[in-house]
């Protein structure tokens, strides 16, 4: 049985999630592509134990994480039961529903039927009675917002989730959803959205400003732009990179010589700050106190330890911020 480090809370920083009483670690471990059917159980355990030993209490999943869909929840639940069950109350476990999970009209989007059934399946896969945060994973253009938010409120009232969140929403829809959830007195605390130096969508669609005004937390996924904001692409595209082996989320056609040059310039700035490019990219996301946590993916525990270092320096000078904007936006 795994024995957690007695020093696990010594260094990690925790930030309030909006105006709620919930705190998140500055770095969260996501189990998107790294806990699938081909993943090594030994390596999965090593990553979970390393994360928890260093104060990462938040583990982020979704019904369709794998591959295959559902496999990440199964693998996480297996390790939780065999090695980490004693620490359940110290852990923040989240999952989601909103993308295609099973065939037919009831296995996708945001209907009450899909969300409730999906969470029941997720709880069974993980061997849990409840999750700490349950998200609707994406906006649904066909289901009334009142139905989706009503399902989230029902889920909390049924005891199957403590808090709810929204993922991939824009600012306008977030504001409407917040009003509905307030009427239900549902503890909606967090938004999950893509955000990085290279992807400013939440600044452009009003989500970041709206979340701050409504005092809701934000957890940022893909803060390293699918690995582009690391040292792996400084000299072009490695043959073993996700671009070459997968290509669904970071396409080779987008990694132009101009983009690589931007990466090199950002890497030079990071070196001047005494950071790696990845550390600076994560620090940048957390710089203004609006983002509650950065959501990292990892294939080995050393990457988790490297990413935690980003919390050591999240302060940027005006000149540094202007240079980052100049490099990345022009």
Give CA–CA dist 233/254, Å, rounded. 12
Q: Contact, 136 vs 148, CB < 8 A?
A: yes
Q: What is the pLDDT of residues 72-87, one digit of tens each?
A: 999 999 999 999 999 9
Q: What is the pLDDT of residues 151-176, one digit of tens each?
A: 999 999 999 999 999 999 999 999 99
Write down the CATH superfamily of domain 14-329.
NADP-dependent oxidoreductase domain (3.20.20.100)
Q: What is the pLDDT of residues 201-258, one digit of tens each?
A: 999 999 999 999 999 999 999 999 988 999 988 877 776 655 555 555 566 767 888 9
Token pair recorded at residue 316: 């940027």
Give CA–CA dist 252/54, Å, rounded. 34
pLDDT at 263 exceeding the cut of 90: yes
Minimal CA–CA distance to 52: which of 17, 88, 77?
Answer: 88
- Say which DSSP state 263 is in: H
């Amino acid at each position: 049985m795994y024995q957690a480090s007695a020093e696990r809370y010594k260094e990690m920083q925790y930030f309030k999630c909006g105006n709620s009483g919930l705190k998140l670690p500055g770095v969260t471990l996501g189990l998107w592509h790294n806990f699938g059917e081909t993943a090594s159980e030994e390596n999965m355990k090593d990553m979970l134990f390393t994360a928890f030993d260093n104060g990462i209490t938040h583990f982020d999943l979704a019904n369709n994480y794998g591959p295959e869909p559902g496999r990440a929840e199964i693998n996480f639940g297996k390790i939780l039961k065999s090695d980490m069950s004693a620490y359940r109350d110290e852990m923040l476990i989240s999952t989601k529903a909103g993308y295609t999970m099973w065939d037919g009209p009831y296995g996708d989007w945001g209907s009450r039927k899909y969300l409730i059934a999906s969470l029941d399946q997720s709880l069974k896969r993980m061997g849990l009675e409840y999750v700490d945060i349950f998200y609707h994973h994406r906006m649904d253009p066909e289901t009334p917002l009142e139905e989706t938010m009503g399902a989230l409120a029902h889920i909390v009232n049924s005891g199957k989730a403590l808090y709810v969140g929204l993922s991939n929403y824009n600012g306008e829809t977030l504001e409407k959803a917040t009003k509905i959830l307030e009427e239900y007195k549902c503890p909606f605390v967090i938004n999950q959205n893509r955000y990085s130096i290279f992807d400013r969508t939440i600044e452009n669609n009003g989500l970041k400003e709206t979340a701050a005004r409504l005092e809701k937390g934000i957890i940022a996924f893909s803060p390293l732009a699918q690995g582009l904001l690391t040292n792996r692409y400084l000299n072009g595209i490695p043959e073993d990179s996700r671009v070459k082996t997968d290509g669904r989320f970071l396409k080779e056609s987008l990694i132009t010589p101009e983009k690589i040059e931007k990466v090199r310039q950002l890497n030079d700035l990071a070196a001047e700050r005494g950071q790696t490019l990845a550390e600076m990219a994560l620090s940048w996301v957390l710089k203004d106190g609006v983002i509650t946590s950065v959501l990292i993916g990892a294939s080995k525990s050393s990457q988790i330890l490297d990413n935690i270092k980003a919390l050591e320096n999240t302060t940027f000078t005006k000149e540094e911020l202007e240079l980052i904007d100049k490099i990345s936006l022009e």
